[in-house]
Amino acid sequence: MKRILIFTMFGVLLVILAIGASPSVAAKPQKAIETSNGMPSGDHETLLIHGKKEGYSCEVCEICDTCDPPVLQCNVINMPEYGMATIKYVSGKKVKIDELTVFDSCAGWEGNDPSVDDPAEVWLPYEQEGYWVFARALGKPGKGDEERYIILENESLEAYPLLSDVSSPNDVILGLGMITQQGVFKMDASGELYRFDGDSDKGKGKSQGRDITDMLLWSGLVFHPDLDVNVDGVVNESDVIADTCTGDTNHDGIIDNDELIAWSGVHPDPDDINGDSAVNYMDVIADTCPYDLNQDGIISYDGNYDESTFPDCEFENWLSDNAVNTAGDPLWQYYNEEWIFTIADLVYLNQVVTNEGIKNLQIRFYPKDTTVFIPFEQ
């Protein structure tokens, strides 16, 4: 089978960080959460996004334990205080690092167009169960009625199989990418969280942490590129035709006129195989495609994955027969609200950040397997 690398773009998922208590907290008492920073307690990884004034000279962070002062961890991204930047979050089953590390700490300094901006790159230690993720805007509040806020948008997703473990961008040798389809993140919008809540009677108006974990929970299908037989960037009924229909001699998933003529050549009096009162490409499919079980000239597929009816559709019959390769490795899988970085060996999540005056955004990642939450009513 032929293979292709595909970058799948999702509908933009918008988050405007807004003040408010989280619906679930760690072992802190409720009273302490309501009047403190709203963050869970316990071990966590921390990412800081600093908003810098126009003209700031950004330098990339590098670990230096002999410097004065020593630089022991790079976990800060510097972006314009007013403007846009792109952050590339990186993790996966074969990412082997001990702590959250920012490998490119400058973002957004090439202008407000994320497509040309050199993104910051944040590597996160792999956790099979994922993380609870909390964000909190810090820094001086705006003056008067000035509103300061920050917007996060999940823009694109890339997933890859790897031959070996990686611990930095220099280790990565990318092959053909996985194909992600029908993908959606659980959170498509959140309430608003500004730097300062002047109407709050809790914590003297200070902003509290907000649970944004749902931004990183994803549902969708992940296909190995081997299943994209006709190399058009998607896996669907056309690949069934390209893979199994003998009438599709060039394996592009389409019965063209030349292939229809060739099929007619071995059928001196071509039959209307599918019974639609016409002899055309659909009869070639009905006659030469083993997965067209009812011989209607159509490989049935409703465009959705439905576990309750699987494998009733002819496309899903083909998927069922191609669940693993000859080595026993899975060729596709459906995920439901999965921590995004568990779907492949290496996953890139590209996120656009729009800053409107926030000087310090703190994002904390709490490992789910070591963080205990006690829900309380707001």
List the structure tokens of 370.
Answer: 């070591």
Domain ranges of the chain: 8-224+339-368, 236-329
pLDDT at 143: 61
Per DSSP, the three-state class of 348 is strand
**Average confidence (pLDDT) over 303-320:** 74
Global pTM? 0.81
Average pLDDT (289-297) is: 94
C-alpha to C-alpha distance for 355 and 358, rounded to whole angstroms: 6
Q: What is the rounded distance in angstroms from the CA atom of residue 83 to the CA atom of residue 357?
A: 9
Q: 100-159, pLDDT tens digit by residue?
A: 999 988 988 875 554 455 789 999 999 999 999 999 888 666 565 577 888 898 988 999
E-state strands within the chain: 8-16, 24-25, 45-52, 76-80, 82-91, 101-104, 120-123, 131-138, 149-160, 179-185, 210-211, 217-223, 332-339, 346-356, 360-367, 374-375
pLDDT tops 70 at residue 33: no
Q: What is the mean pLDDT of residues 241-249?
A: 97
Give the pLDDT of residue 208: 74
pLDDT-derived band of residue 6, with 50, 70 and 90 as boundaries? very low
pLDDT for 176:
83
Q: Is the pLDDT of residue 12 over 70?
A: no
What angle (nearest 5°) sits at the alpha carbon of residue 217, between those of residues 49 and 3? 100
